[in-house]
Amino acid sequence: MSLVGTCDDCGVVGVPLRYKPETPVSEQPRPSVCERCRSHRESQATTFVRCEDCGDRVPESRATGMDVSPPDGYYPEFIHFCPGCAPTDDAEQTEGSA
């Protein structure tokens, strides 16, 4: 299926539209960006991070980031988990008595 319309990103009119590469197609009601913007988004979307747990490389957009910066906050530090290793919220109940 090819749909011609206006690109969401650059606003060019009357171009064949493509799905956004970083969003699941099932979440997009219709293609909405032009080919140029699609490949631009794709090049930006392919930032890979390493899963702290299993070592797999996963796209940053799909990874779960965790802030592990030291208390002094001098060097902000983040670790990432793939969807399979992402810790769940209710697994950890910390008491905050500050």
Residues of the shown chain interacting with Zn ion in the complex, contacts defined by CB under 5 A: 7, 9-10, 34, 37, 51, 53-54, 56, 82, 85
Contact residues for 1 (Cβ-Cβ < 8 A; gap 6+): none
Provide the minimum distance between the beta carbon of 55 and Zn ion in the complex, in angstroms, as a whole number: 7
Separation of CA 54 from chain center: 19
Nearer to Zn ion, 75 or 86 (CB): 86
Rounded to whole angstroms, the Cα distance separating 45 from 69 reads 25
Provide the minimum distance between the beta carbon of 42 and Zn ion in the complex, in angstroms, as a whole number: 13
Provide the minimum distance between the beta carbon of 46 and Zn ion in the complex, in angstroms, as a whole number: 18
